[in-house]
């Protein structure tokens, strides 16, 4: 698997504004056939044929090859050139690489985020309070703390390629962050309205229809005893193309 992203910045805050993974085809020796940035750009001109679907995550923590997430990319000399760069893997990308294979080879999957802020461990922090406040002002002329276009999904005008949207953005929304909860629900509702196949993992707390209404979507990565359970369930979802809803327990 390869992963590519496009970064942008505003007022010293850095965002991952576009992100794709590519599931490599194999050569006669079962080695990955790698693509270049130019190949990626050509594929993106034919999204209807080349993008299998979308995976929705919470927020990114990723860096271009040659850089890291130990400090801001700008401090490391990264040039925000509005171009795609090949990215280092993180834990989520490692999981995708191990679990999304046959049936997706030669295809791109777009990765979207509830929040594009490229920063680790934003839950729970005052950042979420700022997000909630921003979302309350999003459809007004008021200024927001984080860039409206770079950080948030304009769900009413969202563009989704491929057959499916796999929601893996998490389910533990703080109840007093009412705007964040409404935002996550609105993205799911708009996805359904656009006729995309909505796919996710869930448990016994809610049935599948309730999960869509509540934006209750389990994340593939978990700690403790649920680590392998979530990872294996995610793998089961992607044994088919398009993937299927999976219930844990």
Tell whether pTM > 0.95.
Answer: yes
pLDDT at 27: 95
What confidence tens digit (pLDDT) does each residue in 132-177 have?
999 999 989 899 999 999 999 999 999 999 999 999 999 988 889 9
pLDDT band at 249 (very low <50, low <70, confident <90, very high): confident
pLDDT band at 69 (very low <50, low <70, confident <90, very high): very high
pLDDT at 192 over 80: yes
What confidence tens digit (pLDDT) does each residue in 6-62 have?
999 999 999 999 999 999 999 999 999 999 999 999 999 999 999 999 999 999 999
- How large is the average pLDDT for residues 173-186? 94
CB within 8 Å of 118: residues ≥ 6 apart: 7, 14, 15, 16, 59, 60, 61, 62, 69, 73
Number of domains in the chain: 1
pLDDT at 65 over 90: yes
- How large is the average pLDDT for residues 121-131? 91
pLDDT at 125: 84
Domain coverage including residue 102: 2-247
pLDDT at 39: 98
pLDDT at 173: 85
| Pair 156, 190: CB distance under 8 Å | yes
What confidence tens digit (pLDDT) does each residue in 71-101 have?
999 999 999 999 999 999 999 999 999 999 9
């Amino acid at each position: 698997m390869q992963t590519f992203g496009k970064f942008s910045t505003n007022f010293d805050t850095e965002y991952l504004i576009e992100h794709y993974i590519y599931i490599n085809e194999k050569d006669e020796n079962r080695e990955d056939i790698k693509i270049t940035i130019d190949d990626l750009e050509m594929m993106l001109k034919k999204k209807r044929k080349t993008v299998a679907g979308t995976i929705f995550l919470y927020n990114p923590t990723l860096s271009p090859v040659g850089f890291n997430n130990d400090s801001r990319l700008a401090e490391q000399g990264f040039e925000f050139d509005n171009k795609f760069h090949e990215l280092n893997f993180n834990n989520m990308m490692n999981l995708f690489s191990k679990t999304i294979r046959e049936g997706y080879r030669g295809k791109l999957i777009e990765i979207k985020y509830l929040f594009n802020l490229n920063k680790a461990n934003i839950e729970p922090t005052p950042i979420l309070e700022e997000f909630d406040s921003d979302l309350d002002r999003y459809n007004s002329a008021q200024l927001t703390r984080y860039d409206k276009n770079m950080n948030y999904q304009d769900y009413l005008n969202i563009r989704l390629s491929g057959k499916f949207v796999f929601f893996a953005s998490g389910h533990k929304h703080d109840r007093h962050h009412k705007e964040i909860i409404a935002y996550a629900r609105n993205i799911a509702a708009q996805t359904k309205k656009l006729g995309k196949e909505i796919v996710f993992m869930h448990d016994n707390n809610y049935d599948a229809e309730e999960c869509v209404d509540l934006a209750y979507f389990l994340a593939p990565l978990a700690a403790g005893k649920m680590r392998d359970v979530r990872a294996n369930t995610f793998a089961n979802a992607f044994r088919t193309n398009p993937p299927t809803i999976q219930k844990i327990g």
